[in-house]
């Protein structure tokens, strides 16, 4: 399983927090990553609440960035 991740600090006017992006080879692997993250974050008393999501589809990878359809 390939895991690419990017951290991006949000700007003023957006929700507070950081984003983490994982790129998986299959939707099942992506769901496993999302569930593992959600469970680990929920079990940690220090970390703030977090939301996870899974999106499936074709992407374009270019120079370390990954683009999907809007």
How far is Cα 30 from Cα 52, in angstroms, rounded to an integer?
11
Q: Are 33 and 24 in contact (CB under 8 A)?
A: yes
Q: What percent of the chain has pLDDT over 70?
A: 74
How far is Cα 11 from Cα 27, in angstroms, rounded to an integer?
30
**Mean pLDDT in residue range 41-45:** 93
pLDDT in tens, 16-39: 567 778 888 899 999 999 999 999
Residue-level pLDDT at 17: 62
């Amino acid at each position: 399983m390939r895991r690419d991740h990017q951290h991006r600090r949000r700007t003023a006017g957006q929700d507070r927090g950081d984003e983490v992006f994982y790129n998986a080879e299959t939707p099942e692997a992506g769901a496993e990553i999302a569930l593992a993250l959600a469970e680990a974050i929920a079990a940690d008393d220090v970390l703030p609440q977090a939301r996870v999501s899974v999106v499936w589809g074709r992407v374009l990878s270019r120079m370390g960035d990954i683009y999907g359809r809007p």
